[in-house]
Each structure stands twice: as structure tokens, then as C-alpha cells.
Chain A
């Protein structure tokens, strides 16, 4: 199942990638400041809805965000999708909250969301990626307990209810003639649901996500997807080459340089060298995760 999901997400990414050139003419001109994917829980329970939140900040004031593609959610059922665009003097904050549910316990890898736009800083058409998210879905213990002790619980509740009514009747009979003072009770306020904070994924977590994806699917397509995600993580954007990425400040240390070079190899080497290249990339991801804060 996990293997199928990874393949589906990779195909979805590839499809989004191929279409980018054709849509380049209609792309919005944006200065992307941040583009993240988070979950309101890292360990959701089976059959209990949770939220995936895509947050995009751009410097421009725009009424709506277009060409933002959510990942294919093969292991999750989509229950709802809510979009909110807030434009202010410092730009626009776009937040898309996707309500999903997992029906089976296990590891769920959610691929990065993508955004295609013209980069306002250099007027080039680009594709941005969020981080990916890996979740551990736990079994729903409440449902099991409810099924097992449902009858007992029901009987206890009935008995308690009958006892409460009998006590109430006895109390009323004893105090007949005395009118109790009316006490106005304040109306109960509706419970306010505080929004869950967006969980920011650290570089270490993102590297571990990438490692999980690459270990689950040792294919060229998975390597290309992981490469794109790591490049996004180090601040490079789509359409740049290795030399561009190595010039970024994030690649000043040898561990990061080694990682992006290893991923480049796994994306472009010949088929016979691919297993060794992916193994090398996995090793580099491990070292990066160890060294990352």
C-alpha cells in the first residue's frame, strides 16, 4: 500500500511537472516567501479526521492563488477542503486546510504540494515544493473498547439515569409547598475550538521524510522527487542546476553539499549505477539528519 501510494504521488508530481511549461504563459508573478505543508498531528488515529495545512506567504497582494497543487492523497480519504486568502500590507497569506482521514494504521507519506508561478525576483517560470510529511497512523483503541464494553456501559448509564430520576422525585415530594428561589444560570458558552498550531517541519524531519520515501521506493522517480524536495529545503527553486544550488548559503557545509551531489547522481546516473547511487543518497540523508538541528 505504501509502495503504491509513493508511486501515485510521484506520478502526480511528474504530471504537475510536465504541465508546467504549457501553463507558463498564464502563471502569476509571485515572490514566494514561504511554502509549507504541515499536519495538525503527527500520529493520527485510524478513522479519526485530522488536517493537513498548506501555508503559502507571498510578498504581493493577490486575491487568489492559482496553480497550487495538492499532493495525491492515495492513503487518505479527503473529507473537505477549506481555503483562506488574507491579503495585507505585507503581502498575502494563503492557507488551505484539507480534512482527511486514514482508515488503516501504518506509515503514511504525504508528498509535497507544488506551486507554479513566475518568480518575481528573476521573472523565470518556476515550480516550488513544500516539504513532505510522514505520519504514523495508530489503530483506534476507543472504537475497540466501545465495541467490547458497549452493552455494559449502556446498562450502567440506564441504571444511573433511573436512580437520578428517583432521587429527584423523592426530593420534590419532601419539599412540597416550598417554592425554591429561581436562580438564573448563565447561558453556557459554546466551546471555542482553538486552532491547532501549524507544525513547522525541521530540516532534520524533512531529511527523515525524504529518507523514508527513498527507502520505500528505490526508483529514479522517487529519487527525482526527493531531490526536488531537498533542493526546495535548502532554498533552491525549480529550474536551477546543481551549480546554482551549491552556490546557496545552505550548501556551505560539506554534509549538505555531499547530500545534494548524491541526489543529483541518483537523478541522472545510468540505470546500472542507480541502486548504488540511491544507497549513497540514503547514507547522505542519514548523515544530514544526524548533523541537522
Chain B
């Protein structure tokens, strides 16, 4: 198999998953930018199906880890067991050794388990006993969080969230999409598309994405967007009460330089998906809510005033004129 394009993969996923274009785009961008995705949304919105379909379309390996309060780090990365026949320790690799890993309900496991996963995501290797093991390439983690049922959960600290390249809020499908889901899945179980691209193709796309041109004006726009989250003077957002609130007073801390890099990587990836070898301000603005939203620390006033974090992020993005 050769000369597959990123859009071939997108089309293959679209044939399996109805709607959820943002999730599909996020998965592809994570692949192209060599990052990981955090999905927040209620259950039953095809998050697992999307991961499984991606792995199948890439002919890669898929693993799912259900995060629970009694999960241990060794349940994720692997462990050493004593082999009585050989009278020696043998290493059993954990489910993280896959190309596409679904970390389901990541906030249901305690902090040390979350840390084990997030360190592996960052370092792309795990150490079991005396030996380090490299994770496969490509390696994409899709973590999910359920916003509806927060009892007994361990919220991810901002420092941990920062490691995700992007966070996407998964919404319910439209009426038409739901009818299509009914037609597609009610009669027979739809099988994901098989191997439309190879893992080598992904590595080649990643190299192409790296070469996508980022004009100086676009770079300045990216930096302006990120710095706006740290100094949001003059930006206002409407509260449900009708009052206008200063966004700067709702923020504890803004996005880190990692957000700047993420915006650049994602913009390049989006340009490549669109068939361009140069990025546009449009690319930056389209992915900015997903790259910045989980990296800004809001204070108690946001919740007290009933303002949605997304609305405050959108207001800051809107306040920065595109070049």
C-alpha cells in the first residue's frame, strides 16, 4: 500500500462513524502532530468506535483501558512476574503497548495511575523493572472524561491536562445524523473499514506536516492568541444574568508555551488535511478552542457566574484579530 492520503483515512472513518466530524478531525490531527487527545462527553457518542475504527483503518493495534478507582500503574504499563519454570522474572507488557489506546474515563483512576499514563504519553517509553521499553510508533492515546457523573472521580490537574495536544467536547448528533445511525447500526453490526493506510503512511504524513509552511504573520497570530489567555484585558463575556464580565478576572493562569507549540503543530496538520502545504489563520482559529480550552485555569467566579469556559475561551479568541 502506498500514496494513501490523510483524507483517505478521514473518509474511511466517516463511513463508520456518523457525524462527529470534530472527533474524526481531532484523531487525524493527533496522528499528524504526534500528540494525544482528550475527549469529554457523555457515554454512547462513538468515542470507542472512533478509536477502534482508526486502529483498524491503519492496520494498527488497538487497546482499551477502562480506568477504575482500583486500577494500578502496572495494569497499564506492565509488570514483571516470576516464571517458576524458568526460575527468572519475565516482563509482561501492559495494554499501553498499542498504536491506538483508549483510556476510558481517565478521571476515575487515582493520580498515580493517571501519572503513569501521562508520563508514558510524554516520554513515549515505559520503564518496567530495570529495563525501558519504547512504545510503538505511531502511538496515540485518546482519553475520555464523562462530565455528567463526577462522583468518585479524580479531576486531572492542569499540568496533566497540558500534556494532551487537544481537548474536544463531544456533543450529541443532530436529528438527521441520529436517523442515519439508526439505519446503519440497527440491522447489522457495521465493521470498521480495514487498512486504508499503513503505519508507514502515517510516518510519511507526519514528515509532510512538519514541512508545512507557517508564515511569520501566522506565527505572530498564534503567539497573540496564547498571550491573550494570560492578559485578557478588555475582553468581556456575557453571563447568563445578562451582565458583562471581564474575562481577565475569571482566569487564574493562562496557557503555557506548550499551547503555542500545540497550535503550530495542529495548524500544520489541519493545512495538510486540507491539501495545502502552508497554514492559514483559519487553521489556527479553527483549532484554537481545542488547543487552549484545557490549558487555561479559570477561578471559582466562572462557575459562580454560570459562565461556560468555552464561551470565555471563544471571547478571547475573537478578541485577537486574525492577520
Residues of chain A whose beta carbon lies under 8 Å from any beta carbon of chain B: 20-21, 24-25, 122-127, 224, 238-243, 264-265, 267-270, 273
- Residues on the B chain within 8 Å of A268, using CB: 213, 215, 217-218, 278-281
Given A243-B286, A270-B213, A270-B278, 14 other A-B residues pairs in contact with their CB atoms under 8 A: A124-B321, A125-B319, A126-B321, A127-B321, A241-B282, A242-B280, A243-B285, A267-B215, A268-B218, A268-B281, A269-B277, A269-B278, A273-B213, A273-B278
| Per-residue interface assignment for chain B, residues 281 to 293, with 1 indicating a CB less than 8 Å from any chain A CB and 0 otherwise | 1100110000000
- Can you report 26 residue pairs joining A to B where beta carbons are below 8 Å apart? A20-B321, A21-B224, A21-B321, A24-B234, A25-B234, A122-B318, A123-B236, A124-B319, A125-B321, A126-B321, A239-B321, A243-B285, A243-B286, A265-B278, A267-B217, A268-B213, A268-B217, A268-B218, A268-B279, A268-B280, A268-B281, A269-B213, A269-B215, A270-B213, A270-B277, A273-B278
Counting CB contacts under 8 A, is B311 at the interface?
no
How far is the CB of B263 from the nearest CB of chain A, in Å? Answer: 14
- Residues on the A chain within 8 Å of B281, using CB: 241-242, 268
How far is the CB of A271 from the nearest CB of chain B, in Å? Answer: 8
Contact of A242 among B234, B282, B319 (CB under 8 A): B282
Counting CB contacts under 8 A, is B322 at the interface?
yes
User: Would you list the 7 A-B pairs with minimal beta carbon distance, nearest first?
Assistant: A239-B321, A270-B213, A241-B282, A269-B278, A268-B215, A241-B322, A242-B282
A243 to B280, CA, bound (A): 10
Number of interface residues, chain B, beta carbon within 8 A: 19
A287 to B322, CA, bound (A): 27
A123 to B235, CA, bound (A): 10
Instruction: Say whether B278 contacts A124, CB under 8 Å.
Output: no
A125 (CB) vs chain B CBs: closest residue: B321
- Residues on the B chain within 8 Å of A122, using CB: 318
Residues 282-316 of B contacting A (Cβ, < 8 Å)? 282, 285-286
A248 to B217, CA, bound (A): 24
- Residues on the A chain within 8 Å of B278, using CB: 265, 268-270, 273
How far is the CB of B21 from the nearest CB of chain A, in Å? Answer: 15
How far is the CB of B95 from the nearest CB of chain A, in Å? Answer: 40
- Residues on the B chain within 8 Å of A21, using CB: 224, 321
How far is the CB of A102 from the nearest CB of chain B, in Å? Answer: 33
A118 (CB) vs chain B CBs: closest residue: B234
- Residues on the B chain within 8 Å of A242, using CB: 280-282
A12 to B261, CA, bound (A): 32
A212 to B182, CA, bound (A): 57
How far is the CB of B270 from the nearest CB of chain A, in Å? Answer: 12
- Residues on the B chain within 8 Å of A267, using CB: 215, 217
A269 to B278, CA, bound (A): 5
A220 (CB) vs chain B CBs: closest residue: B215
- Residues on the B chain within 8 Å of A273, using CB: 213, 277-278
How far is the CB of A135 from the nearest CB of chain B, in Å? Answer: 30
Instruction: Indicate the member of B234, B236, B277, B278 with the most A CB atoms within 10 Å.
Output: B278
How far is the CB of A20 from the nearest CB of chain B, in Å? Answer: 8
How far is the CB of A163 from the nearest CB of chain B, in Å? Answer: 73
Instruction: Say whether B213 contacts A241, CB under 8 Å.
Output: no
B284 (CB) vs chain A CBs: closest residue: A241
A192 to B217, CA, bound (A): 52
| Per-residue interface assignment for chain B, residues 255 to 289, with 1 indicating a CB less than 8 Å from any chain A CB and 0 otherwise | 00000000000000000000001111110011000
A242 to B213, CA, bound (A): 17
- Residues on the A chain within 8 Å of B321, using CB: 20-21, 124-127, 238-239
Instruction: Say whether A241 contacts B285, CB under 8 Å.
Output: yes
- Residues on the B chain within 8 Å of A243, using CB: 282, 285-286
A21 to B231, CA, bound (A): 13
- Residues on the A chain within 8 Å of B322, using CB: 239-241
Instruction: Say whether B213 contacts A124, CB under 8 Å.
Output: no
Instruction: Indicate the member of A25, A268, A269 with the most B CB atoms within 10 Å.
Output: A268
- Given A25-B234, A268-B218, A270-B213, A124-B318 contact (CB < 8 Å): yes
- Residues on the A chain within 8 Å of B319, using CB: 124-125
A125 to B279, CA, bound (A): 24
